[in-house]
Structure 1
Amino acid sequence: MARIFEYFVVCGIGPEIRTLDGNRGYHGSGVMYLPSLLDQYPPSNHTLYPPPPPQLPTCVLPAGVEFYGSGFDSNDPSTFPRSYPIVLTEGDGSKIYVSCIAFRDPVCEDIAEAYRIPANSYADKCICLVSRSPSFGILRDALEEIFVLCFSSSGSSKPLWDVIAYSVSNVPLPTPGKDRVLFAIENSLLSVEVPPKEGLPHADISFQPLLQCLDVDNVIQLFTAVLLERRILLRSNMYSLLTLVSEAICHLIYPFRWQHVYIPLLFFSGVDYIDAPTPYMMGLHSGVDTYGLTMDGVVIVDLEHNRITTTEEIPPIPEPEYSLLRGEIMKLLYPNVVGIDQMKATQGNVSDQYPRGGNRPWGQEHDLQIRFTFLKFFASILSGYRNFIENTATQVFNSQAFLKKRSRSTNQPLDPMISQFLDSQGFLDYLERGLGSDENNYNLLDKLQDAIGRGQNPLSVLPSLMAEAEIITISDPGVGISGAKYCYDRFPANVRTEEQEEKRKQILAAASGVLEYSGRHTPSSLSVLAGNDSKAESLSPRERAAERERMVLDIKVKLQGLWVRLVNLGQTDDPLSSFEYGTILALIESDAEGIGGSGFVECIREHIHSGLNCQLSEEQFIAVKELLKTAISRATSRNDMATVRDALEVSAEMYKKDMNNVSDYVQRHLRSLSIWEELRFWEGYFDCLLDRYSSKSTNYATLVTTQLIVVATHMAGLGLHDTDAWYMIETIAGKNNIGYKHIIKLRGYLSHVRHMFVGYWGIHSVKLQSATTLGLPSPRAQDASDDAQQPAEASGIGRSWVQSMFTRDTSIRAKSFSRVGKWTSDNSTLDSSENGTPRKQDLSAAGQKKLQTSIRTLRGHNGAVTALHCVTKREVWDLVGDREDAGFFISGSTDCTVKIWDPSLRGAELRATLKGHTRTVRAISSDRGKVVSGSDDHSILVWDKQTTQLLEELKGHNAQVSYVRMLSGERVLTAAHDGTVKMWDVRTDTCVATVGRCSGAVLCMEYDDSTGVLAAAGRDAVANIWDVRAGRQMHKLMGHTKWIRSIRMVGDTVITGSDDWTARIWSVSRGQCDAVLACHAGPILCVEYSSSDKGIITGSSDGLLRFWENDDGKLIF
């Protein structure tokens, strides 16, 4: 029999301490730390249930763990324990219900000693009961009894973990509608039962908090937003409220289910997840700052102030359903006001259908009534929907026929709210669940519609509760037998296995050893090996030197062993969370003399020289990269250039392979370190190379030239700009007096280095000009730091869809305008100071005047503008000459309209408004006489440009239309999220052919009408190339790892931009990737080709525009 409790879990500070930012070690009491899973029952080696989700510790302590100087104080409410529920969603959509109690608990002595944490410190700890049953009440009651029992002065009759083990292992899940289980925790009797399956789904929560936080109109608006699958963010300063409101609204949309991301309580460090482009429902503590996040289209529900805000209009529920729904809710909440004119004695069975709550306190009857009110709403608004279920190969439900039937019956036009709801995934999921399944037997919506149609009492569809539940008693025979009492001053730890204890000791020993070594070996006491140790003070200088050599050798031997184990980890092991990685990183970070950093680099060099494979797995690559960056940073702070030089060289040997089998070296990911910008480092490195390879038989000038090529090769691998790199090369060459002939020869070699640079980094702009025109610093390559490009590689938290989304670096945003202006101005000049750093010249009056412009705001749309099309002269050209509408532009919006604008008419720019779509307009195109638009309502509408009359509606796509293109010969090319690309003949209103199919939604498309080559890409991360005229697919261009957002085709070249933060250049004829453009710190949302500048422009969510060209101004195709 299934158990009601799956796990009992304890989370808090473990032996490996790390801040929310990923820094290891203890950094004081004002810093938030990552929680860890400390204990669990059943233990991790059992096979009864799947293991707890890995994100559980982060979710149950969403703010992280904080250290305190004191524990519980009855006079300080901030120290009181907090009890709250959370809900986790697994990949298959199933939910995990968790009840939590967070409190302050003393820090374990071994952890405090290892990390030098002040004595008598406290830290946040959380105990949890985990279940697959939404029995919030019993989960909370049982957990609170365990907590009270632990800290009770009278103690427990059994060890606390024995009490926990018996409860988790022996309390069964009751049979729905039949059983009632009684069990006890020590002397407290608890009971649990589950309602029958034939009724409304089990919801062991109160709906009162939802109705107390929001007024009736806001409750209905939130309900509508959820029904239409918008992005919804709940805000409150109480964890419990966020979960209860989220669960309540999910139950109110029964029989439909929320199909998208569902995080009722979002952990604080995951605030960037709000920028997700797909629908979600999340709850976020009101104390978390969301400044700088893109909140366009997000429905923000402020539960503290009864306020809902959004930038996109939410279509209202149509009449008469809206008035009926609002009236029923008002009648339930305010019966003495709404029903003040009603008779006390009513006729017939009216009182049975509409029970009056009076002044009774809110209870389960009220919860049932509010849920049933919304179910009646669905029965009304979907009246007769079963007659339109088709279940054919092309569609499951005939939405258009249903809408027309409803329009006739209500004498109202087609309603956008119902239209959007019928297109939602929730409605489609409901239909698919009901077809051919046993779920129809419990479908209360259908039963309610039938009962209303027969004139029966609507409440008759609910199951009766006449039968008494069978009582099942669970008793613990071990309670009170021994007579012993167990009292605790802290929540006890469970008994650990030998393996767990050994691993804990190793982690703490590594942390303690590193801190001890760092504290004893400071630059001011290098000659004293043991601080105040009397034995060390009695050693002679020679003995101390020998002791130090033995210590250094011991550290290097340990590093060698750790390195070997790190590169030999199995495929299922995560190097970033391994003991080896943590120990190496701790040795590097805490070593004041640099023994850890230099020793680690030496380990890699020996690995390379021994002939072992330098290819790393993805996880090993990230681990080595992070360790090398830390070692270089520490060495730079100590002015240990030898270690920096060695790290630079080994980074050029260690690599991984991407999906295209292209080598990606660690060196490319070290670009963000500032040491590479310093001329003194390269001069020192060059001198080191000369000493290493000098020979009396070698010509000096040739030796200098050869070593400068080596230096230039490393500069190219790091991605230094040509201007900076050549300045430093030329400076070093000039100081060594090699003569102009060798400098010319050196320039010839640099073309080879440039080829390496392009193969390593992709095409890169070397123009450093226009930023000074705006009076801003010159943009440098270090702006696109590797840290920003891969923000969460070293973290094991949140590695789901929401993990890798967006970077929020304020310094990057502050500089974004300077980067946007990098190539837009032609009048800027740069001068160089003595150290080669570009500096700003004064702006001329002409240059300032050139920046002046005028801006007009064109108003007309009632929602966000989502599509824009500019009418070009080529588009409207005819035999007579250019048409007068050249220069017009056409816009589409979330208000479902298309508008034509004439910018030449100041003050009256709006020329026409085209109405016909029922959802957001996503794509627009036009030719001489027609305008075509595509929308989220799956339709393509064709309009007459002059008369603005609707000509045709092209139907055939089964999802949102993402792209439209007018072609010659009265043809239209369209693409949609159903993965198809279709060609239409406007004259006959028919689909000529489905010219392409993708495995995912098509987000972008390009077509060359002169060659008939079509390129399309989207969510499957594949760029597909078709020859439309030959009716065949030419290539599948694979290399991107995430959605492709933008695509451009120029001759034989295709350019793609992706959410994997890269753009790629492809050859259409060869079907191969020619270059990877990788300098952005966020998804690339648009790519474009500039014919005048002969370059590629990429735009990213990091706020930057980048311009890519070759040295001679020609693209490498």
Structure 2
Amino acid sequence: MLTWYFISSHLTLFLASLPSSTGAKMSNEVDAGDYGPMKRLSTMFSTFQDKFHRDRSDRDLTLPQPTAPALAVTSFFEYLVVVSLGKKRGQGTYEPQITYQFPKLANMELSQREEEEKSLKAILLFCFPEGVNWAPLTEYPSETFSFVLTEVDGSRRNGYCRRLLPHGKGARAPEAYCIISRVACFGLFSKIFDEVEKRRQISMAMIYPFMQSLREAPFPAPGNTVKIKSFIPESGTEIISLTRPLDSWLEHVDFRTLFHCLTNEEVLKVFASTVLERRIIFMAEELSTLSQVLHAVAALLYPFTWQHTFISIVPSVLIDVVMAPTPYLLGVQRSKLDDVTDQSDMLIVDLTEGAEKTFITCIGDESTILPEKLQEELLQALCCRRDNSTSEELNKVVSEAFLSFFVKTVGHFSSHVKGSSGRQPGVFQKKSFCKASEHKASQHFVKRFIQTQMFDIFIQEVERRPTQEGFFHKKIAEYQESKKKEKAKRGERACGVNIGIFRQNKQLICHMLLKRTGIDQQ
């Protein structure tokens, strides 16, 4: 099982195994003496990582099967919950409680219901990761963020959460709407939340018919639109259009927040650290900033996938995860700064606007990891984006810039998979692959990159299925074709120069011969 799945699964199981006296007790109630399991889990990370690398070095032609079968997505979501903060009796603290759920757990089979009850405890924790110290508010800006729940079999579900101040007068505690779905499409669910929030202001009962219509609607293919009819008192029947982005691998991503928080040069340093699978912590106070930036950074790796710990928002009770010795991408609220700055050999990125120092902690070689020429090309490509560009336009500019980087550094991989025929898997030739790099600087980077788990998993899939078609392969073919044309043009130019030189020399030779024979050229 992949390290990323292993860690995420155990985090989810840890959340689900927390004690509960009310059926949905908030995990933050565990006192300091109960934090031991997370520290033992950190030790487990190291042990598993050592074992993984030993197994990996012994691998010959036996390739692992996929961690979990691909699940066909047929509906928008599995369920919606509304989480409210209720004041604990005799105490000045609050605990989250599920006040609404659709569909009800009672409608599920017993085995499924038991699993979902465990997931609900984790959901409570992620909806309010700060802890139990809340006070009634009169103003609270709405924010939307996301998290990932990973099952033991490696399958993943996305949690989308919108927190806001419920409709009413006077000071009151915020509440959260959370949708659990197999679909990774942040923009789509942000629009769904807009509709849910609109109906919640009228009545909780108004949410049900809309979510029922959404649940019955077929999930659209990339680029397609589904239309849902919904009735609202005083407004009548509305038609809500939900369009899925054409590039499905970018539908969970919006790069605007990343480039609002960081400069182009800073983004490249973060990318370089991520490519080498280092420990990286992002800090911000807004949960929406953390989740959007972490998902954007992970998307820069396409066609590769981050294989290690990924927690876009680390709940307070799980802060000890920063001690894990294995690679991770973590989002931590800035109020927890003192809990993470005693760590070394990592990159800590402060996303706070106007921060005195963007990189609170760094290793120091971040600006030299990527080949210099390709760094310059990346910066030039990123400078082409406009300040007023739409989310789709920005996603296109950014994704193509970083995809081009991988095309130029490792796009020749298929030529170095030998011996594949029929059911027999191929074998990747590392040495010849590294030597075939276009430039010496690229060769140095490639030697480091092929040691990462993300490249290893990618190449295992190539060994298993050498003939593949996809967006990355399409871009590789386009790049190779452009190189052929460029080479042909250089050949034509060289040929033209040689012909010109020959003509000049021919005239000179004729002139000398005529002169030697005493014949006047005229």
Which band: TM-score by shorter chain? Answer: 0.5 to 0.7
Q: Which residue of 1 aligns with 2:106?
A: 45
SS at match of 2:105: coil
Q: CA deviation at 1:14?
A: 6.1
CA contact (8 A) 1:142 1:190 kept: no
Q: CA deviation at 1:278?
A: 0.9
Q: Does 2:439 align with 1:410?
A: yes
Out of 82, 98, 112, which is 2:142 matched to? 82
Q: CA deviation at 1:232?
A: 0.9
RMSD: 3.3
Q: Identity rate of aligned residues, in percent? A: 22
Q: How many residues align?
A: 392
Letter paired with 2:128 = L
CA contact (8 A) 1:89 1:96 kept: yes
Q: CA deviation at 1:433?
A: 2.5
Q: Does 2:164 align with 1:98?
A: no
CA contact (8 A) 2:371 2:442 kept: no
Q: Does 2:156 align with 1:129?
A: no
SS at match of 1:281: strand
SS at match of 1:183: strand
Q: Which residue of 2 aligns with 1:191?
A: 241
Q: Which residue of 2 aligns with 1:531?
A: none
How big is each residue's C-alpha offset from its partner over 1:897-920, in whole Å with a ceiling of 9 and x where there is no partner?
Answer: xxxxxxxxxxxxxxxxxxxxxxxx
How big is each residue's C-alpha offset from its partner over 1:998-1055, in whole Å with a ceiling of 9 and x where there is no partner?
Answer: xxxxxxxxxxxxxxxxxxxxxxxxxxxxxxxxxxxxxxxxxxxxxxxxxxxxxxxxxx
Which structure has more relative contact order (CA 8 Å, sep 6+)? It is 2
- Pick closer, same or farther for the CA change 1:27–1:175 going to 2, 3 Å: same
For 1:9 and 1:433, the matched residues in 2 are separated by: 37
Q: Which residue of 2 aligns with 1:1011?
A: none
Q: Which residue of 2 aligns with 1:258?
A: 306
SS at match of 2:184: coil
Q: CA deviation at 1:90?
A: 0.3
- Pick closer, same or farther for the CA change 1:140–1:167 going to 2, 3 Å: farther
Structure 2 gaps of 5+ residues are 1-72, 233-237, 486-522
Q: Which residue of 1 aligns with 2:122?
A: 55
How big is each residue's C-alpha offset from its partner over 1:333-381, in whole Å with a ceiling of 9 and x where there is no partner?
Answer: xxxxxxxxxxxxxxxxxxxxxxxx5x74334122112101111111101
Q: CA deviation at 1:383?
A: 3.8
SS at match of 1:441: coil
Q: Does 2:376 align with 1:323?
A: yes
For 2:473 and 2:267, the matched residues in 1 are separated by: 25
How big is each residue's C-alpha offset from its partner over 1:556-608, in whole Å with a ceiling of 9 and x where there is no partner?
Answer: xxxxxxxxxxxxxxxxxxxxxxxxxxxxxxxxxxxxxxxxxxxxxxxxxxxxx
Q: Does 2:362 align with 1:310?
A: yes
For 1:433 and 1:394, the matched residues in 2 are separated by: 10
Q: CA deviation at 1:435?
A: 3.6
SS at match of 2:107: coil
SS at match of 1:295: coil
Q: CA deviation at 1:213?
A: 1.1
- Pick closer, same or farther for the CA change 1:106–1:140 going to 2, 3 Å: closer
How big is each residue's C-alpha offset from its partner over 1:628-671, in whole Å with a ceiling of 9 and x where there is no partner?
Answer: xxxxxxxxxxxxxxxxxxxxxxxxxxxxxxxxxxxxxxxxxxxx
Q: Which residue of 1 aligns with 2:209?
A: 163
CA contact (8 A) 1:87 1:98 kept: yes
SS at match of 2:393: helix
- Pick closer, same or farther for the CA change 1:275–1:135 going to 2, 3 Å: same
Out of 446, 453, 468, which is 2:473 matched to? 446
SS at match of 1:127: strand
CA contact (8 A) 1:8 1:128 kept: yes
Q: Which residue of 1 aligns with 2:505?
A: none
Q: Which residue of 1 aligns with 2:328?
A: 280
For 1:103 and 1:231, the matched residues in 2 are separated by: 32
| Aligned 1:416-495 pairs, distance under 5 A | 417-437=445-465, 440-442=468-470, 444-455=471-482
Letter paired with 1:430 = F
| Aligned 1:219-230 pairs, distance under 5 A | 219-230=267-278
- Pick closer, same or farther for the CA change 1:294–1:366 going to 2, 3 Å: same
Q: Which residue of 2 aligns with 1:64?
A: 131
Out of 178, 194, 197, which is 1:144 matched to? 194
| Aligned 1:470-549 pairs, distance under 5 A | none
For 2:271 and 2:394, the matched residues in 1 are separated by: 18
- Pick closer, same or farther for the CA change 1:214–1:66 going to 2, 3 Å: same
| Aligned 1:637-656 pairs, distance under 5 A | none
How big is each residue's C-alpha offset from its partner over 1:411-437, in whole Å with a ceiling of 9 and x where there is no partner?
Answer: 45951x322211111011111233444
Q: CA deviation at 1:186?
A: 3.2
Letter paired with 1:57 = L
CA contact (8 A) 1:209 1:245 kept: yes
Q: Does 2:77 align with 1:5?
A: yes
The structure richer in helix per residue is: 2
Letter paired with 1:42 = P
- Pick closer, same or farther for the CA change 1:300–1:185 going to 2, 3 Å: farther
- Pick closer, same or farther for the CA change 1:141–1:60 going to 2, 3 Å: same
- Pick closer, same or farther for the CA change 1:104–1:5 going to 2, 3 Å: same
Letter paired with 1:41 = F
Letter paired with 2:433 = F
CA contact (8 A) 1:433 1:439 kept: no
How big is each residue's C-alpha offset from its partner over 1:468-513, in whole Å with a ceiling of 9 and x where there is no partner?
Answer: xxxxxxxxxxxxxxxxxxxxxxxxxxxxxxxxxxxxxxxxxxxxxx
CA contact (8 A) 1:231 1:297 kept: yes
Q: CA deviation at 1:41?
A: 1.2
For 1:225 and 1:47, the matched residues in 2 are separated by: 44
For 1:370 and 1:293, the matched residues in 2 are separated by: 31
Letter paired with 2:373 = P
Structure 1 gaps of 5+ residues are 18-24, 74-78, 108-119, 333-356, 459-1117
SS at match of 2:428: coil
Out of 281, 284, 297, which is 1:233 matched to? 281
Q: CA deviation at 1:141?
A: 2.0
- Pick closer, same or farther for the CA change 1:210–1:161 going to 2, 3 Å: closer
Q: Which residue of 2 aligns with 1:27?
A: 91
CA contact (8 A) 1:325 1:374 kept: yes
Q: TM-score, normalised by structure 1?
A: 0.33
- Pick closer, same or farther for the CA change 1:169–1:328 going to 2, 3 Å: closer
Q: Which residue of 2 aligns with 1:180?
A: 225
SS at match of 1:205: coil
For 1:360 and 1:377, the matched residues in 2 are separated by: 25
How big is each residue's C-alpha offset from its partner over 1:697-743, in whole Å with a ceiling of 9 and x where there is no partner?
Answer: xxxxxxxxxxxxxxxxxxxxxxxxxxxxxxxxxxxxxxxxxxxxxxx
For 1:46 and 1:278, the matched residues in 2 are separated by: 41
CA contact (8 A) 2:284 2:334 kept: yes
Q: CA deviation at 1:267?
A: 1.2
